[in-house]
Amino acid sequence: MKITIRFILAILLIISDISFAKAQSGKQSSIDIQNEFEVLMKKIRLDFAQNPQIKEALNKYNEKDGSFIDVDYASIRRTEWPPMTHIERLYDFAFAYTNPKNKYYKDSSLFNKIQKGLEFWHERNPWCHNWWYNQIAEPQCLGILLIRMRTGEQRLPAELESKLLKRIKEDGGHPAKWTGANRTDIALHWIYRSCLTQNESDLKIALENAYSPVVYTTKEGFQHDNSYFQHGVQLYIGGYGDEILKGITQVAMYTKGTQYAISEDKLAIVSKFMRETYYSTIRGQYMLFDVLGRGVSRPDITKKTNTILFARRMIDLDPAHADEFQTIIKRIEGEEPANYGLTPKHTHYFRGDYTLHVRPEYTFDVRMVSNRTSRCEYGNGENLKTYFMSDGCTNIVVDGNEYANIFPVWNWARIPGVTAPQMSDIPKAKSDWQTRGTSTFAGGVSDSIYGASAYSYTDDYANINTQAKKAWFFFDEEVVCLGACISSTASEEVFTTVNQSLLLDKEVTVSSNKKVSTIGKESFSYIIPDWILHNKIGYIFPENGNVFVSNQTQSGNWYDINNTASKQPLQKGIFTIGFNHGEKPSNASYAYIVVPGKQTVKDMKKYQKSKNIEILANTEEQQIVRNKKLGIWQMIFYQAGEFKNKDIAVKVNQGCALMIKENNKYKVEIHIADPAQTQSIIEADICIPRKSKEIKKICCDFNHSGIYAGASQKRELQY
């Protein structure tokens, strides 16, 4: 009996100890959670810390009701929504009131204005037709304002704060209903609200949703080729790419060192995208214009000095790549030149129908569109003349600023790289948001250093009625650009634009019939040139063609491409060159070679003498270029066919993009891709007589390749 009682007492004692330990653990856990909320809010305050000047806004403040006399609170405009100014000014007031360095620090009169202004906002309840303001912009701004005001000399009344938090929750929506950057943006104001209410379950939902877009997907978000989509299958490396990086790195910095820190696998996806894609589209301080979506029509949008913030965050988050991010920062800050730290690379983004070619001397890209992807959008009254930007558009940049703010005065029928009728009124796609392309053959082959891309272009929409076979061949010193089978029944003349950029050099140097001259300002002429040089970029014309050169002042305004922007007239000097194929061309063609990094006549003549490039075919069926210096053949076959000359014979069973590298004595390296993404077997018979009379056979099985149907495969031939 004694043993039993002792045993029972021992058990009770153990249970008591466990219960006490659990209580203590729960108490400690609760304290830890509270501390983490405070840690998060402290980081948020530091992230947005500022010392604003508010005198001008104070002069517009209405003491009677807490409004601002110059704000149209009834406006429902979809962009630059006027009522948002109210919250943005109160936001600045909050930072002025809580910053010891500001003259309004602890100013009770300013506190009353903030309180009254917030009361007015809640009662007036402004609403915008663009969901983004209601569910992202306003809730984020309010959340940060309230977090900042928690540190003030006076606290906002609990009832007012509660009403505003309820507004954020109800109007802000749930992040899980959205995708990509939009999901992360909504999750951000959930984080702010969760910290203010110390709601652990909502915080977990917020963080799960903030990080959930960081996966490879076939929908909106990070693609398996390391590109980025938003608004369906639309390339958006900039614009929404900016947003996802801003949001993810922001949340990752808040949660660093806490139980909510971003996982290593998700951080790796973000880092890879930033280092290999996002920052690669920024040359110097400027982003390539064709990856910005409809944002290209906004003033100063290509200048990306603000993105230094993302790279600085990554130095803390991803120290293994800190040196790379430091190099990026130096380029964008302007501390080092645009080519600082760049190494050669070539990427064809087979998911995005986009090609990016980077060299220390220059960057060159091509944007295409197929029935797998969407054209560049023009929603919310922005980017109204964008139609041709998806049809083989090219950026050619050395310093990066070649197209900075050019867009109001651009001739949008002459987008660099594009073949199009010279329409005075640029058509709009069927849908302002998600219009698929029609090409079934758009893609390229790549070995990560060199590559070739092709675009079978046919457009019967809006009386465009034009077709062409367009291809680009990428090497070290040059990019070879070919066009064939150019036909049109459009009413207008059809042009292929080589470039339309800012006239940064006042003179354009031209060699025609081996005679060198300059074209002065305010001129337009047709010539048959050997080559043209302007602003460190040379253009060589290996075949006779009706080339136009323009060196003129062009006029325009931002409003015509963006109905929320200024109507103020602008003028800029613009350099344009291209081919005039005439009215209703049939089976026309073009060929030009872009040689960036050339600054003098001597440079151009020296390059011409090298004769590295052989253009061996430029027809409806095939386009083939050889770089003799590199020992590289690049071939586009639009259908099953054969090419043969004294140096090589190649036969393929279907359309493909093929690269043959024979710079090794004992082996030949083959890279092959299917721009049509047919998921079939591509066979090639290859004979290189000087190595062997034997026909070598290669077989690339793309069956069941799924999302990788457009990726390149590698084979080797041994000799």
**Residues 368 and 306 placed together within one structural domain of the fold:** no
**Residues 309 and 456 placed together within one structural domain of the fold:** no
Within 10 angstroms of residue 679's Cβ, the number of other Cβ atoms is 15
Both tokens of 379, joined, read 């929603």
User: Vertex 9, ends 4 and 10: CA angle to 5°?
Assistant: 95
Query: In the prediction, which pLDDT does 33 show?
Result: 61
If phi > 0 it is left, if psi is from -120 to 50 it is alpha, else beta; for residue 232 that is left
Residue 107, domain member (yes or no): no
Residue 140, domain member (yes or no): no
**Residues 322 and 353 placed together within one structural domain of the fold:** no
**Residues 572 and 706 placed together within one structural domain of the fold:** yes
Question: Which CATH number goes with the domain that contains 302?
Answer: 1.50.10.100
Contact 657, 445 (CB under 8 A): yes
Boundary residue ending a domain (277, 308, 341):
341
Domain span at residue 301? 214-341
Query: In the prediction, which pLDDT does 698 show?
Result: 96
Question: Which CATH number goes with the domain that contains 402?
Answer: 2.70.98.10
**Residues 384 and 523 placed together within one structural domain of the fold:** yes
Residue 665, domain member (yes or no): yes
Backbone angles phi, psi at 57, to 5 degrees: -65, -35
Q: Render pLDDT for 488-501 as a digit per residue (tens, 0 to 9).
A: 999 999 999 999 99
**Residues 382 and 424 placed together within one structural domain of the fold:** yes
Count: domains in the chain? 2
Within 10 angstroms of residue 214's Cβ, the number of other Cβ atoms is 22
**Residues 251 and 358 placed together within one structural domain of the fold:** no
Q: Please identify every residue annotated as catalytic.
A: 231, 240, 294
Q: Which portions of the chain are predicted below pLDDT 50?
A: 1-31
Report the predicted TM-score, pTM, of the whole model to 2 decimal places: 0.91
**Residues 312 and 378 placed together within one structural domain of the fold:** no
Residue 57, domain member (yes or no): no
Query: In the prediction, which pLDDT does 14 show?
Result: 34
Residue 130, domain member (yes or no): no
Boundary residue ending a domain (276, 310, 341):
341
**Residues 283 and 405 placed together within one structural domain of the fold:** no
Residue 194, domain member (yes or no): no
**Closest residue by Cα to residue 532 from 469, 450, 593:** 593
Query: In the prediction, which pLDDT does 533 show?
Result: 97
Backbone angles phi, psi at 520, to 5 degrees: -80, 180
Task: List, in order, residues 6 or more apart from 282 with CB less than 8 Å away.
Answer: 288, 304, 307, 331, 332, 400
For residue 716, the cross-strand partners are 669
Q: Measure the N-to-C terminal CA separation of the chain; round to a whole number of Å.
A: 94
Residue 222, domain member (yes or no): yes
**Residues 293 and 365 placed together within one structural domain of the fold:** no
Q: Render pLDDT for 101-157 as a digit per residue (tens, 0 to 9).
A: 999 999 999 999 999 999 999 999 999 999 999 999 999 999 999 999 999 999 999
Residue 624, domain member (yes or no): yes
Dump strand ranges (E) for 489-587. 493-502, 508-512, 515-519, 523-527, 531-534, 537-540, 547-556, 570-583
**Residues 308 and 356 placed together within one structural domain of the fold:** no
Boundary residue ending a domain (341, 363, 392):
341
**Residues 326 and 378 placed together within one structural domain of the fold:** no
